[in-house]
Amino acid sequence: MLNDHDFLRYQRQIALPEIGESGQVALKNSTVLIIGCGGLGSAAAMYLVAAGVGKLVISDDDQVEQSNLQRQLIYRENDIGLDKVHAMGEQLKAINPDISIRQLNTRLGPEQLNLEVMLADVVLDCSDNLPTRQLINAACYQQRTPLISASAIGWKGQFVVFDFRENTDHGCYKCLVPDEELSQPARCSDSGIIGPVVGTMGNYQALATIQLLATGHFNFQTNELNVFDGTTLQWQCFAVRQDKQCSVCAQQR
């Protein structure tokens, strides 16, 4: 149930016919797992706590560095050297003290990852390396948990959603990025990156999350790779097809 404080705080969302009181209650009762507290996680987390998502679980094992401040806008100069999950948690609480935030200051191994994914209503992959992305994908597929994934490098961003609740044979992240891609540089520390592109992708993750939690479904086509070019401000969209040899979604059914 919503109290008077909730109605006042979230009145602009509740006024939307797609959300209403029932959608706001659904947000309040939801659990979101964010893996990665960098630029993507920063942008997504701030909008999710502002929107009233009831419980946020954030996971990362890094500390705040000065070079992070250019694009990871949740952090401040005095956060340098602190664990990201703790610094982020403090900032998120300042935005909305009503939200429950659980901090996991660790790189999740397969067993713990599977447990956290099982407890979440949706998972946001905000990590910065392909091996972690593959582990998250496999865990989400196994637990039938929706996966909202994004990445950014240079002036380019990518955004893709896999709704594993029912669509278990329409492809997964490993179909999109197979194992042979893992040897390629995959971290933004290996290349340059423009901050607003990261924020754009994180905001898309937050928007898709709110849409799912408040309405119960995505109002757009899932299993499509959306590619953003920050130099032209143009988007391209590509369908993701299942790799019939995929060890995650084609051979575990």
Segments making up each domain of the chain, as ranges = 10-239
In the prediction, which pLDDT does 212 show? Answer: 98
Span 10-239: which CATH code?
3.40.50.720
Question: Is 202 within 8 Å of 43 (Cβ atoms)?
Answer: yes
**Both tokens of residue 206?**
């937050």
pLDDT in tens, the chain (253 residues): 899 999 999 999 999 999 999 999 999 999 999 999 999 999 999 999 999 999 999 999 999 999 999 999 999 999 999 999 999 999 999 999 999 999 999 999 999 999 999 999 999 999 999 999 999 999 999 999 999 999 999 999 999 999 999 877 889 999 999 975 555 444 555 679 999 999 999 999 999 999 999 999 999 999 999 999 999 999 999 999 999 999 999 865 5
Question: Is 30 within 8 Å of 55 (Cβ atoms)?
Answer: yes
Distances (CA, A) of 142 to 100, 118, 136, 186, 240: 26, 9, 10, 24, 19
Q: In what helix (H) or strand (E) does residue 125 lie, and over which residues does it extend?
A: strand 122-125
The pTM score is 0.94
In the prediction, which pLDDT does 196 show? Answer: 98
In the prediction, which pLDDT does 187 show? Answer: 57
In the prediction, which pLDDT does 252 show? Answer: 54
In the prediction, which pLDDT does 169 show? Answer: 82
Task: Give me the residue label for tokens 């278990």.
Answer: 168
Euclidean distance between CA atoms 244 and 241, whole angstroms? 9
Task: Give me the residue label for tokens 């865990």.
Answer: 139
Euclidean distance between CA atoms 141 and 51, whole angstroms? 27
Question: Is 205 within 8 Å of 159 (Cβ atoms)?
Answer: yes
Q: Which residues are catalytic?
A: 188
Distances (CA, A) of 130 to 23, 179, 187, 230, 241: 34, 9, 8, 22, 19
